[in-house]
Amino acid sequence: MSVDTAEPSEFSPRQNAVLEQALRLLVDGGEKALTTSGVARAANCSKESLYKWFGDRDGLLSAMIAYQASKVRTFERNGERLTAASLHDHVVIFARDLLEVLAGDVSLALNRLAIGQSNRDGSKLGKLLLERGRRQIDRRAMALIDAGKRAGLLRFSDADEAYHTLYGLVVSDLHVRMLLGEPGLKDTARQAEKAVTAFLRLYGTDKVLAEMPVLG
């Protein structure tokens, strides 16, 4: 398995557990704590296993970011026939997961570390966050939106624009404020539902709008 191309689903439960320990080390101790020796000790595995599974330190970081991004669930049921109700549910799950992952200690630590490194090392961590994190989430969420259009539930001429509208409605400026030290949302479910309702009112077809509650 190539570390550069592996998806999180291709990692075993044991490897995912190691990645979880590596992420926790990063949150608790910062970049200096993220050594092969430290990860091996925390995860109770050998350094040889780490190299075999993930390659070098950059490979480990790449896998950590992809694993973190995989916590944002999207439409992944092959053959499922979307309905207005199931589309709504899938998008709400995506929105809630996105808010909870972005607001979590791990994502905040990774982004703060990337910002701190932005003037050195060619912003390597920042590039990994984009390629293995944000773009992985984007691709899977776009697949959901495209499936909604094919099912006659969404209408748009530009899928990228529609997706980024959804992303903006869900996240707004929350992530920036949290990176600057503000507390996160107390009710991610409410924010997710509010954002998805606004998105479906903008892009939903008559099938979807007919099943939505009338605004009072």
pLDDT for position 153: 96
CA distance 198 to 174: 17
**What pLDDT, on the 0 to 100 scale, is given for residue 112?**
83
- Provide the pLDDT for residue 172: 87
What tokens appear for 83 in the block? 């309905």
pLDDT score at 2 = 35
**Is residue 83 left, alpha or beta, with left meaning phi > 0 and alpha meaning psi from -120 to 50?**
beta
Place of tokens 């997706």: 163
Residues 6+ apart with CB under 8 A from 163: 138, 141, 142, 145
Residue 9: per-residue pLDDT: 55
CA 19 vs CA 34, 67, 72, 183, 201: distances in Å: 11, 7, 16, 26, 39
Domains and CATH numbers, the chain: 13-70 (1.10.10.60), 84-126+133-211 (1.10.357.10)
**The tokens of 26 are what?**
């990063």
The residues, ordered by sequence, that sit 6+ positions from 187 with a Cβ below 8 Å of its Cβ are: none
Helix boundaries (H) for 55-205? 57-69, 84-102, 105-116, 124-128, 135-150, 159-171, 174-179, 188-203
Residue ranges of the chain with pLDDT lower than 70? 1-10, 75-79, 118-123, 213-216
pLDDT score of 183: 79
Confirm if 26 and 33 have CB atoms less than 8 A apart. Answer: yes
At residue 121, the pLDDT reads 54
Residue that has been written with the tokens 């503000």 in this structure: 182
pLDDT of residue 152: 95
pLDDT of residue 123: 65
pLDDT value at position 3? 38
